Structure 1
């Protein structure tokens, strides 16, 4: 357990004592304490049918989240590693005698089936799926209803109360509904994770470019443009793209599917291309595969996936494992997993500690509000996006609140990793404006040095991972000199100075971690 998590646990213990009279507050703080050092909790958000459940299956490598034509996720569902399959149910308010505590974990055609017919979904707070897999040991995935679902307001209205470390927001394109969600709920999400803990995924990459085999490459170009989009920048750290259906199928490829695809790939190229012009032509084509098999392939791969898979087989991919690996790479899944690993899992302790301290901050603000007239209330939680939470009852002495606030500030001041996340979030909303400097380029360098591309020394310094320690030290020292100059610039505004000071501290940390050069003595006679 890291020192930061130990200190955060101390703050939570202190806060639980201060708010002991309020069961809701104690429950939330206890949840934060319990998960410190455990898996990173990542929420998947987006409109209906943007592929949240499909992406979840691709990340896990098994079909455990229901997918289909209609709205499949109507209640927030947590997927975590467990010793055996289990589906638990938690409720809003008191559980009734007739309310089931668990649902049966049923398997049909290799997929987990979650039967919710017995549940009053309006009263269900969340489902909790335990599934034995190594892919959920480091991360708990939280599948949420679509932002345009009838239940969205209540789900996201409670979002700031949930124990979430990072958010993956899926969009088909950056159109009005997605922008509206980011603007309406972005502040609420930022209360827990901020832009530094959020990234946007263009989730239907195959639709960009009309389903051609190079569609993902076209979508990647769109995603790169989004990274500098002024509408999107304030709400996320980065963007990437994935063809979700192909990614899911790549991780769950079956032998019979590989055999069918190989059979298709051996057809005359002109004949196969004619069949793959449209889904109807493909299903109705006569010859080597029956229509039922063709329908099954379309259901699992989509027309784009069939085109891509048969093209790869024609180019020499000769076994199912190689095909699955190449499909995962070309779908964008490998890059997405790399972002999760490099930018988020590598800073798990920092995200967890920051989220816990922010939760204490919120309860402190509400407790202070209890001593103010309603019109002077300072608690920003809720806003236009949802109902304002009830303030903490006036049961805590102001002196106890002040002591707890001092404890939080003391831990936060000594946690540079949290400072980095806070500065990264601010930079996404307010890029640097330095007199005589190219603000965009300076902002980009600051974000990288603060760990925006990942917390490793090579990622911060923008060099290859296998760069020698001596060269890393030279690059870091050069950057340190530049940024000390920015920190001492008398014409820079407060944000620029604060950012430069944070960058200087980050670079000093990099240098401390690098091996020191060995001094070579001169032999004497």
Structure 2
């Protein structure tokens, strides 16, 4: 598999990294042509340039990975289990029709019967006598999956450093879930970036403070408390070098909002119609809420089902929202999603992952190349390893991503309101030149060029300002380099 590297619209320098990765992988393919296994593996790496970005959702058992996957997809597709009840790694990609293909470690086993009913995935698992299934690739019609493939490994496979390395080895980006900051989570986060090349370019991980509704004993203001915890973690020196962003998400609330059913809305509306003091008393605990003797407009079975879907916090929040104006199904669903933190997570996925998909895939390819060289070292491979390290360490895209994170979480602050412009220029609102320069799709090339030259002059002055500190001047130099990169690639306007 040779030829020109895949093209894209990420600005001039992003394509330089893609071109370099493509050329080095082809060079390695020629070098290792006498090793069929390595050559096949390298061809797979080249083929990945034409595939969607791979985003793995990782976290300790009980962190809520499958719940978050369902919230992102907008339907209940996870977890996937075998006939014995064991969880299996699920790969979820966009497809015109629901389809599921089982794989063993040795290769594909064939398709399984699959159906989509009531926004749920129904798979007929293979028989107990069939070959072991290591993963199930699911094609699913979902707008959220158009830009990336979501990978949901069983929590038992992410319980230690070796497990995390294994499940994230083929990932271009990682969403890591944790219930609270613990030394174990820090160790696992470091394992995600294992290896010298990965550690030098830590730009592919978002940390999610999941089950955010548990903060503050599940009060209605629990999400506000969880967001404050997330803001502190963003500035924590032990955390900020390991991820791009820290976001608090109430997974159950997000999933319920994305998959809210009319019958659930009707039950919640009936509960919200009760006097507030009465409802507050019965929502103090799950035992009280599900007590059979309670005289409520919905029976105990329905209440237990609501707890399974929303959690106690979610029921409190939903009934409060209905009482204060979210009196239709769409209004309530939208507010649940917005308040859950899912919208902020999706914005971060767009800014840090999907907008930079080519760069992140090139990063994965070069890190994979380093693994090949370490596993089968040859005299000629030393130059390839050095070239890969040089390309990764010198990539301007990674400096942009680090600056974008620093600006968005407040670690770097620029004077006189320049933060917003700097963020936009390094890709906060999109990575096309028009988006970086604050124009819509109809902007002409002369308009873009005039705005670009003006921005370049201003930011050169900022970078040379002796009154700014070192970090501020360094941030300005990154913005200058971004402008120079756009100026050097006018054909990509």
In structure 2, which of residues 77, 88, 103 is the aligned counterpart of residue 90 of structure 1? 103
In the TM superposition, what is the alpha-carbon distance from 1:474 to its structure 2 partner?
5.5
State the secondary structure of the residue aligned to 2:102: strand
Residues 196 and 153 (structure 1), Cα distance of their counterparts in 2 relative to 1, 3 Å cut: closer
Scaled by the length of structure 2, the TM-score of the pair is 0.79
1:311 aligns with 2:287: no
The residue aligned with 2:172 is 165
Bigger CA radius of gyration:
1
The residue aligned with 1:250 is 257
The residue aligned with 2:12 is none
The residue aligned with 2:33 is 20
In the TM superposition, what is the alpha-carbon distance from 1:40 to its structure 2 partner?
1.6
1:198 aligns with 2:227: no
The residue aligned with 2:286 is 279
Residues 209 and 505 (structure 1), Cα distance of their counterparts in 2 relative to 1, 3 Å cut: same
The residue aligned with 2:164 is 156
In structure 1, which of residues 271, 277, 290 is the aligned counterpart of residue 299 of structure 2? 290
Q: Distance in 2 between matches of 1:34 and 1:238?
A: 29
1:78-124 CA-to-partner distances (Å, cap 9, x unmatched) read: 111123322223333x46xxx94344325676532456674699965
State the secondary structure of the residue aligned to 2:326: coil
In structure 1, which of residues 210, 222, 227 is the aligned counterpart of residue 234 of structure 2? 227
In the TM superposition, what is the alpha-carbon distance from 1:333 to its structure 2 partner?
0.8
The residue aligned with 2:485 is 509
Q: Distance in 2 between matches of 1:231 and 1:121?
A: 46
Residues 303 and 465 (structure 1), Cα distance of their counterparts in 2 relative to 1, 3 Å cut: farther
State the secondary structure of the residue aligned to 2:322: helix
- Comparing 273-282 and 500-509, the one that deviates more: 500-509
- 8 Å contact 1:246–1:305 — kept in the other structure? yes
In the TM superposition, what is the alpha-carbon distance from 1:237 to its structure 2 partner?
1.0
Q: Distance in 2 between matches of 1:479 and 1:122?
A: 61
The residue aligned with 1:144 is 153
Residues 157 and 341 (structure 1), Cα distance of their counterparts in 2 relative to 1, 3 Å cut: closer
1:101 aligns with 2:110: yes
Q: Distance in 2 between matches of 1:427 and 1:317?
A: 35
Q: How does 1:435-446 map to 2 (within 5 A)?
A: 441=413
The residue aligned with 2:366 is 357
1:317-363 CA-to-partner distances (Å, cap 9, x unmatched) read: 12101111111001111111111112221111111122212222332
1:322 aligns with 2:331: yes
Residues 243 and 73 (structure 1), Cα distance of their counterparts in 2 relative to 1, 3 Å cut: farther
Unaligned runs of 5+ in 1: 367-390, 430-437, 515-525
1:117-160 CA-to-partner distances (Å, cap 9, x unmatched) read: 746999654322221222211110011232x6587565434356
In structure 1, which of residues 66, 83, 87 is the aligned counterpart of residue 79 of structure 2? 66
In the TM superposition, what is the alpha-carbon distance from 1:23 to its structure 2 partner?
3.3
- 8 Å contact 1:165–1:192 — kept in the other structure? no
The residue aligned with 2:444 is none
In structure 1, which of residues 174, 179, 182 is the aligned counterpart of residue 189 of structure 2? 182
- 8 Å contact 2:60–2:159 — kept in the other structure? no
Residues 496 and 13 (structure 1), Cα distance of their counterparts in 2 relative to 1, 3 Å cut: farther
- 8 Å contact 1:484–1:504 — kept in the other structure? no
State the secondary structure of the residue aligned to 1:330: helix
- 8 Å contact 1:87–1:104 — kept in the other structure? yes
1:41-81 CA-to-partner distances (Å, cap 9, x unmatched) read: 1111111111111111111111011289xx98844321111
1:53 aligns with 2:69: no
State the secondary structure of the residue aligned to 2:177: strand
The residue aligned with 2:398 is 421
State the secondary structure of the residue aligned to 2:235: coil
- 8 Å contact 1:51–1:244 — kept in the other structure? yes
Residues 65 and 32 (structure 1), Cα distance of their counterparts in 2 relative to 1, 3 Å cut: same
Q: Distance in 1 between matches of 2:489 and 2:20?
A: 22
1:478 aligns with 2:458: yes
- 8 Å contact 2:245–2:348 — kept in the other structure? no
Unaligned runs of 5+ in 2: 1-6, 9-14, 442-446
The residue aligned with 2:4 is none
Q: Distance in 1 between matches of 2:47 and 2:30?
A: 16
The residue aligned with 1:378 is none
- Comparing 74-83 and 266-275, the one that deviates more: 74-83
